[in-house]
Structure 1
Amino acid sequence: MSPILHISNLHAYYGKSHILHGVDLHIDKGEIVSLLGRNGAGRSTLVKAAMGQVQATGSVLFQGGELIGLKAFQIAHKGLGYVPENRDIFPTLTVEQNLLLGQKKRDTAGRWSLADMYALFPRLQERRTVAAGFLSGGEQQMLTLCRSLMGDPDLIMIDEPTEGLAPKIVALVAQYLLALREKGVSVLLVEQKLAIALEISQRVYVMGHGMIKFEGTPAQLRADAAVRKEWLEV
């Protein structure tokens, strides 16, 4: 079975700065893969390059089709979801309006409904008529995650979803990611918290200096103290 996402020899640039240096990475259908590394390693640049948001060369195959050269909205319509680190919500719209904006117009119903979102995060249902700008950071993160799901992606790339969140909310995010996998949605999780990544992932990649430095299972990373010390520990 071919991977749902297959990145090969990916180079990415911000102006004259060369950020990614020949990255290879793949994700299979229904798989949670974590992308680990210190700040500045190139993890966010990788997902932005896959999403058509930075200048890139190489190949990004999604469900067999090449994404390099496409615009972000064209990539999203192909079924690739992206949750950026900055919790990009519409602050003056209500929770429910934000969710409905994420919905993809289709003749057939998607995998996810408003009811599903509220079942995942009951707090959003309680706050559904509240303007999103008045939500807490944790509630805004829940909203961003759910709005992306309303577009019915086949794979979702999530950049630092647990950053700055309380442990209780981090646990909710982990449950959310496992719920995606149960519905056959693949996940690329960009994360700094080693615990959540190792707990829910089938495979992990470690990045450093814009290159992949390790690929393996969570058990293999746990056993490799040298990789953790060199590329992950502060």
Structure 2
Amino acid sequence: MLTIKHLHAFYGKSHVLHGVDMAVGEGEIVALLGRNGSGRSTTAKAIMGLVECEGSVLWRGQETRGKEAFEIAHLGIGYVPENRDVFPKLTVHQNLLLGQKRSKKQARWSFDDMYRMFPRLKEREHTEAGVLSGGEQQMLTLCRTLMGDPDLIIIDEPTEGLAPKIVELVAEYLKVLRSRGISVLLIEQKLTIAMAISDRCLVMGHGSIVFDGTPQTLRDNTDIRKEWLEV
């Protein structure tokens, strides 16, 4: 579905990604792990055309490198950034409405689906997004992206700063996405959550992929965890 080959990314003269090779398959949850500064978020931005990069990003066999972010989104890739970009002066419902794409096909998700998964959003339906709590804004950003009916969703640190109960809710939500045939690239620091729900784990260090395997293989590989993940 998504295949990345020899991807290099740059912020001005700073060379951040150094030949990243990775793939996300159909209906798969892939966790992209690593310490802060390892290049995980830059990888997401490179996929979405938000940073200068070289190499190849193939989406269903089509090269997307060089396309604008909105063009990539319309191909079926959704992106939930770490900074929870909501429209603060618009209500919850209006934010969700802006996430919809005009399409001839029947969307997999509806407003009712969003409100069923996160009842708190239903309670705050007519509230301006800017006054929501951090957890509520995270729910809203996830749901707004889903309203665009992506086939792959890239989620950057969805559990950052959230209460444990909300973290569990987000984890269950990601399983629901997989059950509906949506692939997930999950950028996460919480190993417990990532390893519990992912089909495959990638570990990134110094702008490259240093491990690619199952969660169980990563659990068994103490050397990789000590060198690239543990503080």
**Of 118, 124, 129, which aligns to 1:127?**
124
Q: Which residue of structure 1 lines up, in the alignment, with residue 83 of structure 2? A: 86
Structure 1 vs Structure 2 CA RMSD: 0.5
2:100 maps to amino acid: Q
CA distance in 2, matches of 1:114, 1:63: 28
The alignment partner of 1:153 has SS state of coil
CA distance in 2, matches of 1:183, 1:221: 27
**Aligned pair 1:21/2:18, yes or no?**
yes
1:117 maps to amino acid: M
**Of 189, 199, 213, which aligns to 1:216?**
213
Runs of 4+ in 1 over 4 A off after TM superposition: none
The alignment partner of 1:52 has SS state of coil
**Of 32, 56, 59, which aligns to 2:56?**
59
Q: Which residue of structure 1 lines up, in the alignment, with residue 66 of structure 2? A: 69
CA distance in 1, matches of 2:116, 2:104: 24
Runs of at least 5 residues in structure 2 that lack an aligned partner in the other structure: none
CA distance in 2, matches of 1:208, 1:199: 21
CA distance in 1, matches of 2:185, 2:228: 19
CA distance in 2, matches of 1:126, 1:40: 37
CA distance in 2, matches of 1:64, 1:108: 21
CA distance in 2, matches of 1:115, 1:190: 27
The CA deviation string for residues 82-109 of structure 1, in whole angstroms up to 9 with x for no partner, is 0000000000000000000000111232
Q: Which residue of structure 2 lines up, in the alignment, with residue 95 of structure 1? A: 92
Alignment of 1:130-145 (within 5 A): 130-145=127-142
CA distance in 2, matches of 1:11, 1:102: 30
In the comparison of the two structures, how many residue pairs are matched?
Answer: 231
**Of 96, 106, 128, which aligns to 2:103?**
106
**Aligned pair 1:45/2:42, yes or no?**
yes
Percent of aligned positions that are identical: 68
The alignment partner of 2:79 has SS state of strand
CA distance in 1, matches of 2:224, 2:86: 36
TM-score if structure 1 supplies the norm length? Answer: 0.98
The CA deviation string for residues 207-232 of structure 1, in whole angstroms up to 9 with x for no partner, is 00001111100000000011000000
Q: Which residue of structure 1 lines up, in the alignment, with residue 226 of structure 2? A: 229
CA distance in 2, matches of 1:10, 1:175: 31
CA distance in 2, matches of 1:41, 1:60: 19
The CA deviation string for residues 160-186 of structure 1, in whole angstroms up to 9 with x for no partner, is 000010100000100110000000000
TM-score if structure 2 supplies the norm length? Answer: 0.99
The alignment partner of 1:164 has SS state of coil
Shift of 1:66: 0.5
CA distance in 2, matches of 1:195, 1:12: 29
Q: Which residue of structure 1 lines up, in the alignment, with residue 173 of structure 2? A: 176
CA distance in 1, matches of 2:82, 2:96: 18
1:150 maps to amino acid: M
